[in-house]
């Protein structure tokens, strides 16, 4: 077109960055996103099951927490346990993410920690006094997890090797090592699986086998909150995350911070692995962590890298997964329905951050049409 005068074109929608939103408004948006996600889930469920819209939600609640007033606390304990494990892993990732180090290797770090714990249980469980074994289990698991975290950190610090991909690959190395160990030490031999290790079970507190893990997760939440917010390390982590140049300028040893933080991140994942193997499963296989390490990445991010919000998010995800599993069970749907439900709600929450950080302005209507 040979239009000499170029018309000024104003786009219909204009996006600008928002100043910090008041916290309750931001939370209303997040809540709305979760509800909207649940609404979509409900509609899909009704379409699939031809069931009642509201019944779906009540089944979800029952599946996650157990029937109200039935006196059975089994499901509630299970809910708390799964939340605690997811919480442990998400908290472990938080310092690394705060440093903008994308540790996608929680799965492998936890698994290798669990493997170390299993080795101690099998090889030393009956040779040393009980408490020594327990201490060794924790030491070995934490150490193994830390090593799995330090390796990518060393290369990131020295050569800027892409850590997302490095840690992702490390997951599979850990899985195959576990598969190898399980074949070699299979009980019964040749089955490729370790049935149950007799010695070195973590102590049971108050008659509740899951209580120890839940308490440890709560303690970890408090420690992580203080560590990130009030310690010198926490400050260094956030400066490195914001700008490495600034960090160098004010005299922070960036390499040291990266390696130290990843050591902590890996060590805590290793601890979670110990809890899974020595505290709950009393066995190890490549599926012990069961994808929780990947879920933890999403939870840590959805939780704004704030330990208190991460607690909420862990609970939400576990609720969705176990609730949806119950819905699937009730209506004879495939169990993967739970993954779809969790996926939909997470995508909604991830998307809603946009409306918190940016505001949308529509084009002002001009006088003429």
**Binding footprint of other proteins on the chain (CB under 8 A):** 15-17, 102, 104, 155, 159-162, 164-166, 168-170, 172-173, 176-177, 179-180, 183-184, 192, 294-295, 297-298, 301-302, 332-340, 342-344, 346-347, 350-351, 353-354, 357-358
Nearer to other proteins by C-beta: 138 or 337?
Answer: 337
Q: How far is the CB of 1 from other proteins (least distance, A)?
A: 17
Q: How far is the CB of 206 from other proteins (least distance, A)?
A: 35
Q: How far is the CB of 152 from other proteins (least distance, A)?
A: 9
User: 100: Cβ–Cβ under 8 A, 6 or more apart, which residues?
Assistant: 240, 241
Nearer to other proteins by C-beta: 170 or 224?
Answer: 170
Nearer to other proteins by C-beta: 52 or 162?
Answer: 162
How many C-beta atoms surround the C-beta of residue 307 within 10 A? 23
Distance CA(340)–CA(327), nearest Å, equals 12
Report yes or no: 38 and 57 within 8 Å, Cβ to Cβ.
yes
Nearer to other proteins by C-beta: 151 or 223?
Answer: 151
Report yes or no: 276 and 195 within 8 Å, Cβ to Cβ.
no
Q: How far is the CB of 326 from other proteins (least distance, A)?
A: 16
Q: How far is the CB of 164 from other proteins (least distance, A)?
A: 7
Nearer to other proteins by C-beta: 128 or 333?
Answer: 333
Nearer to other proteins by C-beta: 222 or 351?
Answer: 351
Phi-psi region of 66 (alpha: psi -120 to 50; beta: other; left: phi over 0): left
Q: How far is the CB of 274 from other proteins (least distance, A)?
A: 22
Instruction: Say which residue the tokens 């819209």 belong to.
Output: 53
Q: How far is the CB of 103 from other proteins (least distance, A)?
A: 10
> Among 280, 284, 264, which Cα is nearest to 177's?
284
Nearer to other proteins by C-beta: 147 or 340?
Answer: 340
Where are the extended beta strands (E) located within the chain? Answer: 13-17, 358-362
Q: How far is the CB of 340 from other proteins (least distance, A)?
A: 4
Distance CA(134)–CA(131), nearest Å, equals 5
Q: How far is the CB of 240 from other proteins (least distance, A)?
A: 17
Nearer to other proteins by C-beta: 171 or 221?
Answer: 171
The DSSP call for residue 15 is: E
Report yes or no: 217 and 88 within 8 Å, Cβ to Cβ.
yes
Nearer to other proteins by C-beta: 11 or 367?
Answer: 11
Report yes or no: 271 and 277 within 8 Å, Cβ to Cβ.
no
> Among 263, 208, 260, which Cα is nearest to 236's?
260
How many C-beta atoms surround the C-beta of residue 142 within 10 A? 23
Tokens standing for residue 137: 């289990």
Q: How many residues does the structure list for the chain?
A: 369
Cα-atom radius of gyration of the chain, to the nearest Å?
A: 24
Q: What is the 3-state secondary structure (H, E, C) of 52-83?
A: CHHHHHHHHHHHHHCCCCCCCCHHHHHHHHHH
């Amino acid at each position: 077109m040979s239009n000499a005068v170029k018309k000024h074109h104003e786009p219909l929608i204009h996006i600008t960055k928002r100043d910090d939103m008041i916290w309750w408004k931001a939370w209303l948006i997040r809540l709305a996103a979760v509800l909207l996600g649940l609404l979509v889930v409900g509609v899909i469920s009704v379409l699939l099951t031809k069931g009642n819209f509201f019944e779906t939600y009540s089944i979800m609640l029952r599946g996650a927490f157990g029937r109200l007033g039935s006196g059975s606390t089994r499901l509630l304990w299970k809910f708390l346990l799964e939340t605690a494990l997811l919480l442990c892993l998400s908290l472990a990732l938080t310092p690394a993410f705060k440093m903008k180090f994308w540790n996608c290797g929680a799965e492998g770090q936890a698994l290798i920690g669990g493997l170390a714990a299993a080795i101690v249980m099998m090889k030393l469980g009956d040779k040393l006094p009980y408490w020594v074994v327990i201490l060794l289990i924790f030491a070995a698991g934490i150490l193994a997890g830390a090593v799995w975290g330090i390796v990518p950190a060393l290369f990131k610090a020295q050569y800027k090797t892409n850590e997302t991909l490095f840690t992702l690959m490390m997951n599979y190395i850990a899985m195959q090592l576990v598969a190898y160990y399980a074949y070699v030490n299979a009980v019964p031999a040749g089955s490729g699986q370790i049935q149950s290790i007799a010695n070195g079970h973590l102590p049971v507190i108050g008659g509740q086998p899951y209580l120890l893990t839940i308490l440890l997760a709560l303690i970890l939440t408090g420690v992580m909150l203080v560590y990130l917010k009030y310690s010198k390390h926490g400050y260094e982590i956030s400066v490195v995350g914001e700008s490495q140049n600034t960090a160098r300028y004010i005299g922070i040893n960036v390499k040291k911070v990266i390696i130290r933080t990843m050591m902590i991140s890996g060590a805590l994942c290793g601890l979670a692995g110990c809890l899974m193997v020595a505290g709950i499963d009393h066995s190890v296989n490549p599926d012990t962590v069961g994808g929780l390490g990947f879920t933890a990445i999403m939870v840590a991010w959805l939780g704004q890298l704030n330990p208190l919000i991460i607690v909420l998010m862990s609970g939400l995800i576990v609720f969705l997964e176990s609730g949806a599993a119950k819905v699937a069970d009730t209506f004879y749907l495939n169990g993967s329905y739970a993954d779809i439900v969790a996926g939909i709600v997470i995508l909604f929450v991830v998307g809603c951050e946009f409306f918190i950080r940016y505001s949308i302005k529509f084009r002002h209507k001009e006088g003429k049409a």
